[in-house]
Structure formats: C-alpha cells, structure tokens
C-alpha cells in the first residue's frame, strides 16, 4: 500500500516536471537586423599603439608610471578627433578619460559605456612576442591589454568616431568612462573618482555596460550554439587573516603545537571543506534561460531546479568555474611565520581569500570558518571586504534590448544572464543605475579567454570588427 502510494507520487512528480519542461519550449528571440559590419582598419592600428602604452597599474599609485596614461590620452585625442570635442576635460581624475556624447532625444535618460585603461604586468620571457610591442601576426594582435580591456575602449571610440563622421548622433545621450586602476582592487582613483563625479551631478543612467562575459564557444557540453554570457551581478570580495601566537623557543627544544602548526592545521581544515551550495538569482536566471534554449535534457534539468538542485550541485561541484557559481569560495593564498630556519615563530599568519555569493553575509562566512577551523587559538581578522554587487534585472526592456543587440551582431548566439566571478569597475557605479551589465562583445573559446592576465594575450582582427559593430549598433538603437 505504502509502496504503491510512493510510486504514484514519484510518477506524479515526473509528470509535473516533464510538463513544465515541455511547456517552457524554446524562446524565440526576435533578431532585429540592426547591425551592419563596420570595417575598421584604423581600429587595429590604434589598438596596436594603445597596447604599446605600458599602462601597468600598481596598488601603491606612486609605483605607477602615469606618463604612459598621458601618452594613451594623447593617442586617443589624435586618433579620434571628432570624439575629442566631446571629452569632459577635467573633474573626473587626471588619468581617467570621460566623454559625453549628446543624443537626439535629450529628455531620455543617458546611458554609460565603460572600460579600463590599466593593465596587469607581464613576464616578458614567457611571451612569443614582447607583451608591449603590439605585434600583429596571422590575424591576431598580441599584447598585454589587447583583450583586457583596451579593445573595448578603442572599439567604443571607433564606433563613435565613425557615426560622428557620418553626421549621426546616438539616440540618447551617452557617457563614456575609462578608469585608470581597475586592476588594483579597492583603489579609488579610477572608476571610484568617475562615479563620485557623476554622483555630484545627480546623474542617473538608463543602463551601464562594463566589461564582462564574452560570446563563448563550446561553453557547455551539448550546446552547439555560442553562448553570450551577460553579467547581471558580481561576487563579493573578502580577505581574512588567520593568526596564532605561541611562546617562541629555540628550535632545538621545541614544544607543540607551534603557532605555524596551528595556522597550518586551520588552513588544511578550510581546504578540506566547502561552504554549502546556494542557487542565487543570477544563476537561477542563467539556468532558466539556457534551459529554455537547450536540448530536452537541459530543459528538464535546468527548468526544474526546484527539484533537480542536488543533481546540479553535484555536477557543478566537479568543475572549478561552475562550483564558484553556486558557492562562496574560500581559499588560502599567503602564509607567514619565522624568517629563520632555526627560530620558532612567535606568531604565524595566513591570508584567506573569499569570494561571496550575492545574499551571503560576511558574518555567515566568518562563523562557518570558525566552526571549520575549530581552534579558539586561531584568530580571524577581516582585512578587506566588498560585498557582492546588487543584482540587475535579467529580464525586462533593458535586458531584452541588450540581448537583441547581441544576437543582431553575433548570429546564432544564445544570450544568458550570469554571475561574474571576478571583480570589475561596475560595482563602483552601483548608485548610478539599477541596470548594470557586464559584457565584452567578442567571440572566444575558453583557451583564448585564459590568455587574459596570462601569457600571449591577444585579440583577433575579426573580434576587433565585431566589437566595433556591436557598439555602433548599441549606440544607434
Ligand atoms: Zn579588465
């Protein structure tokens, strides 16, 4: 009796799930033919010269060679003479670049396109071509910053220059802002200064578009289409210092545990556990959008996450990227103790880097860490904390507009919202719009994306054309 009741229940559940799956169907994205390819041979040359400006930013701004940022500013002024007349000359920081392009409809809320001008360093010996030479070979432009993210700055200005040359205007007023220190998390000279400049003028934007996800090839097994991932939120950032003290003695007559031993054990315990998985709004939106456009199996799994969650979490946990989408990650990165091999350290410390899911609080993470470490002698201290960003809507007029522009320029791409795992400048603009999106208009596979911050970073000429076309379409529509 009980068994047949259970079997009946399971059957009923399966029926509900299958019906939901079938009813959702595939969404028909109305692809408007807005895009026209802009051949921009000039863009490649400008990007090449932009890469040659060695705009490496440092946590300590006195270490940064600001002359290189001035060189870059002069390069843009010469290369984009029409844009130059719309530059906001000062007030938003000496090394940032900010423009205001008046639109046809002055009543409409303006929008903001952003990018950053700084880059991370490069280990020259490992590169095929010197990282700041801007070498072009076999259809690729090589160089640090060619993809992250000077391509965006150059593509935005090339699109504007081409429209202005034709006597056109954007449909609504557009601000363009390039910050100088995105790669130094926490610094406020770049986007931080620009944001407070905009705030002082009481500006609000219809939407803000920053760097972010790309049009990914072979992103998920079984998906033939390219997937354009648009960040609707980004994870939070926290550095926690672990420390332990002990009375130091000579290493010839040790007593245990040592401070280093305690910290080492704490690190080991943290590594052997992971925080519980959670389905947050951006990831749920991603599953729903991919589910609607995927094969039956994906539709079944992704559209019924209310019940398939344990299976999804199991699969996601086996892949570092997918795991980070459903978990606050906790990883030890630095350790320090005695500076002599025959001296027992009085104090040992370790640094743990945490990336928080939206909705996860600092307190929750610290409590979890304390419980896992299970040693009152190990003290925890938060050294840096930025909460996760607000979550922008993954449906509605603004998101659809962006999605339609993407599909118009990248035919055959499926657009999906997602959660950015890394930090961008976008969060600094949080007070200026409820619609903040993170998307880089280029088509790439994983190996190509992995060159970012790595060796042989590059961008294809085809991607330079695509990026210019995307911005030109977005600006006009
Ligand atoms: Zn970047």
Mean pLDDT by 10 residues, the chain (477 residues): 53 51 42 58 94 96 96 97 93 94 94 97 95 96 97 97 92 96 86 96 97 90 88 97 90 93 98 97 95 88 94 94 96 95 94 97 98 98 96 96 94 93 93 98 92 94 95 91
Please count the CA atoms within 13 angstroms of the CA of 299 that sit on its side-chain side.
16
Predicted local distance difference test score (pLDDT) of residue 30:
38
How remote is the CA of residue 14 from the centroid of ligand 1, in Å? 44
How remote is the CA of residue 167 from the centroid of ligand 1, in Å? 32
Predicted local distance difference test score (pLDDT) of residue 187:
76
Predicted local distance difference test score (pLDDT) of residue 28:
35
Taking residue 193's Cβ as centre, other Cβ atoms within 10 Å add up to: 21
Predicted local distance difference test score (pLDDT) of residue 11:
53
Residue 213 and residue 216: Cα distance in Å, rounded? 8
How remote is the CA of residue 381 from the centroid of ligand 1, in Å? 29
Domain with CATH 3.30.70.360 in the chain: 235-386
How remote is the CA of residue 60 from the centroid of ligand 1, in Å? 19
Please, which contacts does 280-284 make with residues 24 or more away whose CB atoms are closer than 8 Å? 280/233, 280/326, 280/357, 280/358, 280/359, 280/391, 280/419, 281/233, 281/358, 281/391, 281/394, 282/231, 282/232, 282/233, 282/358, 282/391, 282/394, 282/417, 282/418, 282/419, 283/325, 283/326, 283/418, 283/419
How remote is the CA of residue 371 from the centroid of ligand 1, in Å? 36
Q: Extract the tokens encoding 284.
A: 């749920």
Q: Which CATH topology does 235-386 take?
A: Alpha-Beta Plaits (3.30.70)
How remote is the CA of residue 183 from the centroid of ligand 1, in Å? 7
Inter-residue contact 33 to 312 (CB < 8 Å): no
Verify cis geometry, omega within 30 degrees of 0, for the bond prior to 257. Answer: yes
Domain with CATH 3.40.630.10 in the chain: 41-233+389-476
Residue 87: DSSP 8-state: B
Sign of CA dihedral 87, 91, 94, 97: negative
How remote is the CA of residue 94 from the centroid of ligand 1, in Å? 20
How remote is the CA of residue 119 from the centroid of ligand 1, in Å? 8
Predicted local distance difference test score (pLDDT) of residue 27:
40
How remote is the CA of residue 399 from the centroid of ligand 1, in Å? 22
pTM of this structure: 0.89
How buried is 200 (Cβ within 10 angstroms: 0-12 exposed, 13-18 middle, 19+ buried)? Answer: exposed
Inter-residue contact 20 to 299 (CB < 8 Å): no
User: What distance lies between CA 199 and its chain's CA centroid?
Assistant: 23
Residue 324 and residue 312: Cα distance in Å, rounded? 13
CATH architecture, domain defined by 41-233+389-476: 3-Layer(aba) Sandwich (3.40)
Reference 288, options 16, 225, 446, 280; nearest CA is 280
How remote is the CA of residue 174 from the centroid of ligand 1, in Å? 21
Please count the CA atoms within 13 angstroms of the CA of 4 that sit on its side-chain side.
1
Element (DSSP H or E) covering residue 115:
strand 111-116
Q: Extract the tokens encoding 306.
A: 């209310």
At residue 142, the 3 state secondary structure works out as strand
Residue 55 and residue 72: Cα distance in Å, rounded? 8
Element (DSSP H or E) covering residue 419:
strand 413-420
Q: Extract the tokens encoding 465.
A: 């054309």
How remote is the CA of residue 287 from the centroid of ligand 1, in Å? 26
How remote is the CA of residue 326 from the centroid of ligand 1, in Å? 23
Q: Which residues contact 280 (CB under 8 A, 6 or more apart)?
A: 233, 326, 357, 358, 359, 391, 419
Predicted local distance difference test score (pLDDT) of residue 21:
47
How remote is the CA of residue 79 from the centroid of ligand 1, in Å? 22
Name the residues annotated as catalytic.
118, 182
């Amino acid at each position: 009796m009980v068994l047949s009741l259970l079997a009946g229940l399971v059957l009923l559940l399966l029926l509900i799930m299958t019906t939901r799956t079938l009813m959702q169907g595939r969404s028909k994205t109305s692809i408007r033919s807005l895009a026209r390819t802009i051949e921009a041979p000039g863009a490649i040359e400008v990007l090449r010269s932009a890469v040659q400006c060695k705009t490496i930013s440092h946590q300590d701004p006195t270490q940064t060679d600001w002359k290189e940022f001035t060189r870059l500013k002069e390069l843009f002024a010469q290369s984009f003479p029409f844009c130059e007349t719309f530059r906001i000359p000062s007030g938003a920081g000496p090394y940032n670049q900010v423009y205001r392009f008046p639109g046809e409809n002055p009543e409409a809320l303006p929008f903001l396109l952003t990018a950053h001008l700084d880059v991370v360093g490069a280990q020259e010996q490992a590169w095929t071509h010197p990282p700041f030479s801007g070498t072009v070979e076999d259809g690729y432009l090589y160089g640090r910053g060619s993809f992250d993210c000077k391509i965006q700055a150059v593509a935005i200005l090339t699109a504007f220059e081409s429209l202005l040359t034709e006597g056109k205007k954007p449909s609504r007023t557009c601000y363009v802002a390039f910050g100088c220190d995105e790669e130094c998390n926490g610094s406020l000279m770049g986007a931080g200064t620009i944001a407070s400049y905009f705030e002082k003028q009481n500006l609000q934007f219809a939407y803000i578009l920053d760097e972010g996800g790309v049009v990914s090839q072979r992103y998920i097994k079984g998906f033939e289409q390219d997937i354009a991932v648009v960040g609707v939120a980004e994870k939070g950032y926290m550095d926690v210092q672990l420390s332990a003290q002990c009375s130091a003695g000579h290493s010839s007559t040790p007593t245990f545990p040592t401070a280093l031993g305690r910290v080492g054990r704490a690190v080991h315990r943290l590594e052997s556990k992971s925080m519980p998985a959670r389905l947050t709004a951006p990831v749920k939106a991603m599953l729903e959008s991919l589910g609607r456009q995927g094969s039956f199996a994906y539709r079944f799994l992704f559209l019924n996450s209310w019940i398939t969650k344990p299976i999804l979490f199991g699969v996601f946990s086996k892949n570092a990227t997918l795991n980070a989408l459903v978990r606050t990650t906790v990883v030890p990165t630095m350790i320090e103790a005695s500076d002599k091999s025959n001296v027992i350290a009085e104090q040992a410390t370790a640094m743990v880097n945490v990336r928080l899911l939206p909705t996860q609080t600092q307190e929750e993470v610290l409590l979890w860490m304390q419980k896992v470490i299970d040693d009152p002698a190990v003290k925890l201290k938060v050294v840096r904390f930025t909460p996760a960003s607000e979550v922008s809507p993954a449906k509605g007029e603004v998101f659809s507009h962006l999605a339609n522009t993407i599909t118009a320029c990248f035919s055959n791409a499926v657009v999906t919202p997602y959660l950015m795992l890394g930090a961008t400048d976008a969060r600094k603009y949080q007070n200026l719009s409820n619609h903040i999106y993170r998307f880089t208009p280029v088509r790439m596979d994983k190996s190509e994306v992995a060159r970012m911050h790595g060796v042989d970073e590059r961008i294809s000429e085809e991607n330079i054309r695509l990026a210019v076309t995307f911005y030109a379409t977005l600006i006009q529509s």
